[in-house]
């Protein structure tokens, strides 16, 4: 397992005290000021960051090498389905197509076809994989926002196919190396779309995400 910094989940090339101190002093010098050594706030913050890092690393852990590759293949197919907004049951169709293609391309290599058949791509599995990807991306984004000195938000209100007003919330911040911009969340505005209702819904969602204004 790679050595990963609990603050930012970045890989540290060598697990040496000097390397870690240099990285923390360069990238996370504000952390100690905000969360002093020995404080309860620091203990709780580190515990939260460690749980987030452990959760993301456990997504592909505890598998044999073959199982790990099959799981990674399942994640990649599920990610494509999510990006193209196709129904999750299409994962089963993708697998069927892959098996047919492998049987024609490699008729003498049953082990190759067997590996394709072993890829978990049921509708339920695809749903679980996409939810795992979503949870990981959300936690990573929230961690980066929490560590940023400043962030800005932009909102855009539109309606979905059910004619329900949806508030898209975008966030922009500097992560210590470059500017980042991402879709933070969608907020439904079911009753009214006045400025006050929009503001209240936005503040309520940011509070739920534990993002302080």
pTM to 2 decimal places: 0.52
Query: What pLDDT is attached to residue 52?
Result: 67
The three-state (H, E, C) secondary structure of 40-62, written as one string: HHHHHHHHHHHHHHHHHHHHHCC
pLDDT at 151: 92
Of 104 and 61, the structure prediction assigns the larger pLDDT to 104
Distance CA 7, CA 52 (A): 10
Domain check: are 70 and 131 in the same one?
A: yes
Average pLDDT, the chain: 79
Within-domain flag for 140: no
**Domain final residue, candidates 78, 106, 135:** 135
Query: Is residue 136 predicted with pLDDT exceeding 60?
Result: yes
What percentage of residues in the chain have a pLDDT greater than 90? 9
59, 80, 98 — which closes off a domain? 59
What percent of the chain is predicted at pLDDT more than 70? 78
The tens digit of pLDDT for each residue in 10-25 reads 544 445 566 566 656 6
Task: Please classify residue 9 by burial: count the beta carbons closer than 10 Å to its beta carbon, then call 0-12 exposed, 13-18 middle and 19+ buried.
Answer: middle
Q: Are residues 68 and 51 in the same domain?
A: no
pLDDT in tens, 170-191: 999 988 888 999 999 888 887 7
Most distant CA atoms of the chain, gap in Å: 67
- Give residue 87's pLDDT: 85
Q: pLDDT by residue (tens digit) across 63-100? A: 445 578 888 888 888 888 888 888 888 888 988 999 99
Domain that holds residue 21: 3-59
Asked whether residue 79 falls in the same domain as residue 45, the answer is: no
Domain count within the chain: 3
> Does residue 141 form part of some domain?
no
208-5-174 Cα angle (round to 5): 60
């Amino acid at each position: 397992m790679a050595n990963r910094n609990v603050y930012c989940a970045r890989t540290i090339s060598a697990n040496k005290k000097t390397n870690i101190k240099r990285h923390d002093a360069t990238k996370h010098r504000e952390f100690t000021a905000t969360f002093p050594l020995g404080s309860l706030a620091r203990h709780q913050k580190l515990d939260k960051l460690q749980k987030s890092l452990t959760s993301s690393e456990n997504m592909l852990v505890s598998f044999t090498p073959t199982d790990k590759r099959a799981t990674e293949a399942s994640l990649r197919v599920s990610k494509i389905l999510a990006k193209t907004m196709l129904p999750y049951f299409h994962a089963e169709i993708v697998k069927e197509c892959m098996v047919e293609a492998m049987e024609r391309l490699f008729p003498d290599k049953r082990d190759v076809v067997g590996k394709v058949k072993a890829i978990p791509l049921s509708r339920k599995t695809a749903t679980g994989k996409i939810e795992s990807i979503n949870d990981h991306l959300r936690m990573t984004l929230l961690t980066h926002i929490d560590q940023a000195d400043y962030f800005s938000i932009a909102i855009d209100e539109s309606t979905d196919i059910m004619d329900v007003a949806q508030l898209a919330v975008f966030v922009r911040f500097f992560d210590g190396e470059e500017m980042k911009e991402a879709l933070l969340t969608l907020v439904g505005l079911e009753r009214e779309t006045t400025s006050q209702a929009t503001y209240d819904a936005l503040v309520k969602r940011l509070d739920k995400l534990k993002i302080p204004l």
